[in-house]
Structure 1
Amino acid sequence: MIDVLKQSWALLLGILLLMVGNGMQGTLLGIRGQIEGIPTFQMSVVMSAYFAGFLFGSRMVPGLIRNVGHVRVFAALGSLISAVLILYATAPNWVAWTAMRVLIGFCFSGVYITAESWLNASSTNKTRGQALSAYMIVQMVGIVGAQMLLNTADPAGYMLFVIPSVLVSIAFTPILLAATPAPRFDAIERMSFTRLFNVSPLGCVGIFVMGGVFSALFAMASVWGTNAGHTVREISSFVAAIYVGGLFAQYPIGWLSDRMDRRKLILALSIIGGVAMMGVFLTDPPFVVLLIGGAIIGGVANPLYSLLLAYTNDFLDLSDMPAASAGLMFINGVGAITGPIVTGWLMAWIGPNGYFLYLAVLCIGLAGYAVWRMSRRPAMAVEDMGGFAVLSPTATPVAVEAALEVAYEEMEEAQADTSAD
């Protein structure tokens, strides 16, 4: 790991600052929207716009990179992100914010693609797995750190918009000045959605559902918090709990996923998430219990995403994984766009606790579908399964492809060692 940090510290530091900026703007807008009197459903449209921009970016930015190069794309998108973060405060209405969120989602998608390509190219076969793990940890730490910064100034003022803008601007300095050659970027082939669904119906449906869950967690937590009357400190603590839960649950669940029928683990996690969120919805618990609930749903959602990717790839050859991953990313993006809108509609209809009802219904629905799929296809033998890759739902196909290759190789090595013994 020390070798990885020596080799990629500039990129990891830049990503850390970028995630602080992104984490701040996501939570801050929900709080500021309440201050500006923007209705809940309109705020859900604003929040959904980020994921629409992210989806467009994942499809369009690779072409830009091939045409003008990594450095130019990276610098241009970074400048736009910094500008939008400042402009939020100058035009506090939902229509302008929606347009800005589309743009900033597009830019962050492009920045992640570029950064992940750089990280992948700067790593060796020996260090790639550690580099990707460090990348995921840095992302989570950045978002948790962003929630702490939200308590340093008044959300009704300008300072909380200035801070992430400055951090994002600084983030590009170590990356662009690092003596790291720009990586070669290859086009990722596409797999038809029909073929992808035939390969793994549970994987496709699950990835769509988790897109809706993750976007609600990432984008609508602050909208829920302000509607429920929580303070900025309480809202930021709740969002932080979601990501802390996800960070600590990934690795033990990954360990389990390599040793049992993954569908049973998908079912168990979905039930845990559904029961926890339904419990919060029905009981209106004290805030400390809400924090526990946030950690539970975060600890379910993040590993479930990685688990569904691993399960789908169990039925694919290594050569088909990049194309399948690109298709799954698109399905996830469509689910993410719908998540905030449906959540906002429910919250406008039944009140703030509609947030937890939405999460509960999706988790319980996924559990039910997993049970049905278990009756339609026999379990795969553990020794025939591929490896589990720890991934963030914000990861682009570049990181997904690299992580799955590492996991696949590690699993083959482990099986070879077992056979030798």
Structure 2
Amino acid sequence: MLQVLGSAWALLLGMYLLMIGNGLQGTLLGLRGEIEAFSTLEISVVMSAYFVGFLFASRLAPLLIRRVGHVRVFSALGSGISAILILYPVLPEPWVWALARVAIGFCYCGVYITAESWLNDAASNANRGKALSLYMAVQMGGIVTAQWLISLNDVSGFVVFIIPSILVSLSFAPALLSATQTTPQFAATKALRMRRLLEASPLACAGMFLLGSVFAAQFGMSAVYGTRAGLSEAQITLMVSLTYVAALVAQYPIGWLSDRMDRRVLILGLSALGGGIALAALLVPGQLWLILVAAAVVGGTSNPLYALLIAYANDYLEREEMAAASGGLLFINGLGAVAGPLIVGQVMEAAGAQGFWAIIATVMLMLAAYAAWRMRAAPDKPIVDGKTAYAPIPAAASPVAASSERTPA
């Protein structure tokens, strides 16, 4: 771990600052949208727009990198992020914010792809898994720091938007100075037919789509829920922070279990646990302790499920198909993420704040039910070339990170 930190500290510091900016804009826009009197539908469209940009970038950013290089792409996209963060309070219109979220989603995904390819180049086969774990910890740390910064500032002013813009601008220096004189080669994942992916693991495909909705609700609609439920800004930021802290803490014990038991049982158990606690928060509204526990448990189950489903799919693929499969699964997850805020927004519009927990409970319990059905439908499906190792892939990962650690368990 120290070797990885020594060789990639500048890049990791840059990513930490970038993730503070991303964590700030995710929660902040929900809070500020309420102040600007945006409707629930308008806020949900704004939140969905980020994932539309993410989907476009997963396809187009590799083309840009191959055309003009890592340094130029990183600089251009990072500058775009910094500018957009200041644009939000200047033009508080739903359609402007939606377009800005498409653009900033594109920029963040492109930055992830660029930085992760540098990180892969800096790591060796022996320490790539540790590098990915450290990268995930840095991402989560940046998002949690962002929640703390929100609690210290007035979300109705400009300062809270200027801070992430400054931090994102500062992130360029360490990240770009960490680039070697020889720019790493970027190998885009090859296409894999969706039919082949569905045949290999229907459970992984369905699970990734459903989880996309859960992640989008957590990332985009938590602040809206908290405001509608009567929580203070400090309580909302604590709720969001617990989601990500629990995700970080739970990855490693769940990964250890994943490599030692039937992954479908673990998928079923985690989905049922997350869905069950969300159902409890739905049925017993207004209890702050239950809201915080539910946020932590849902975060601590859904994020490891993301990596678990990728590992499970790889158990049934040839080794040369794994990188492309990771990219395909992330694309499916992105489709679910685009739909998630729109569905949550509609339900909250009709049923009130508790619609937030209703959607999370429904989606996670659907995943648990489908996992149980797949265990009965295909009880003895053979694993190809041995069980693959669980890798702690962050939910915001690009295809580069998702395909970087695909080794036998």
How many angstroms apart in 2 are the aligned matches of 1:379 and 1:302? 27
The one-letter code matched in structure 2 to 1:94 is P
| Paired residues for 1:401-412 under 5 Å | 401-404=403-406, 408-409=407-408, 411=409
- Deviations 1:227-252, CA, capped at 9 Å, x for gaps: 12211111100000100111111111
The aligned counterpart of 2:265 is 264
Q: Is the 8 A contact 1:325 1:397 kept in 2?
A: yes
The aligned counterpart of 1:414 is none
Alpha-carbon distance, 1:93 to partner = 1.2
User: Which consecutive residues of structure 2, in runs of 5 or more, have no partner in the other structure?
Assistant: none
How many angstroms apart in 1 are the aligned matches of 2:183 and 2:142? 24
The aligned counterpart of 1:78 is 78
Residues 1:25 and 2:20 are matched in the alignment: no
Q: Is the 8 A contact 1:151 1:232 kept in 2?
A: yes
Residues 1:400 and 2:402 are matched in the alignment: yes
1:354–1:179 CA distance, 2 compared to 1 (3 A): closer
Alpha-carbon distance, 1:361 to partner = 0.2
User: Which consecutive residues of structure 1, in runs of 5 or more, have no partner in the other structure?
Assistant: 412-421
| Deviation larger for 380-389 or 308-317 | 380-389
How many angstroms apart in 2 are the aligned matches of 1:35 and 1:187? 42
| Paired residues for 1:257-406 under 5 Å | 257-379=258-380, 384-404=386-406
The one-letter code matched in structure 1 to 2:80 is L
The one-letter code matched in structure 1 to 2:131 is A
Alpha-carbon distance, 1:45 to partner = 0.3
Q: Secondary structure at the match of 1:260?
A: coil
TM-score (norm 1): 0.95
How many angstroms apart in 2 are the aligned matches of 1:237 and 1:381? 44
Residues 1:104 and 2:104 are matched in the alignment: yes
Count of matched residue positions in the alignment of Structure 1 and Structure 2: 407
Alpha-carbon distance, 1:187 to partner = 2.4
Q: Secondary structure at the match of 2:309?
A: helix
Q: State percent identity of aligned pairs.
A: 52
- Deviations 1:93-125, CA, capped at 9 Å, x for gaps: 111000000000000000000000000001111
The aligned counterpart of 1:241 is 242
The one-letter code matched in structure 2 to 1:98 is A
Alpha-carbon distance, 1:292 to partner = 1.0
The aligned counterpart of 2:167 is 167
TM-score (norm 2): 0.98
How many angstroms apart in 2 are the aligned matches of 1:165 and 1:117? 24
- Deviations 1:275-324, CA, capped at 9 Å, x for gaps: 10010001114212211111000011001111111110000121110111
How many angstroms apart in 1 are the aligned matches of 2:97 and 2:292? 29
- Deviations 1:179-237, CA, capped at 9 Å, x for gaps: 52421012211111111101110010001011111111111101111112211111100
The one-letter code matched in structure 1 to 2:152 is T
Q: Secondary structure at the match of 1:378?
A: coil
The aligned counterpart of 1:223 is 224
Q: Secondary structure at the match of 2:115?
A: helix
The aligned counterpart of 1:157 is 157
CA-atom RMSD, angstroms? 1.2
How many angstroms apart in 2 are the aligned matches of 1:215 and 1:379? 34
Q: Is the 8 A contact 1:261 1:380 kept in 2?
A: no
Q: Is the 8 A contact 1:390 1:403 kept in 2?
A: no
Q: Is the 8 A contact 2:8 2:178 kept in 1?
A: no
How many angstroms apart in 2 are the aligned matches of 1:166 and 1:53? 22
How many angstroms apart in 2 are the aligned matches of 1:124 and 1:365? 39
Q: Is the 8 A contact 1:241 1:295 kept in 2?
A: yes
How many angstroms apart in 2 are the aligned matches of 1:163 and 1:223? 22
The aligned counterpart of 1:41 is 41
How many angstroms apart in 2 are the aligned matches of 1:381 and 1:35? 54
Q: Secondary structure at the match of 1:125?
A: coil
The one-letter code matched in structure 1 to 2:397 is A
Q: Secondary structure at the match of 1:37?
A: coil
The aligned counterpart of 1:415 is none
The aligned counterpart of 1:52 is 52
The one-letter code matched in structure 1 to 2:196 is R
Q: Secondary structure at the match of 2:404?
A: helix
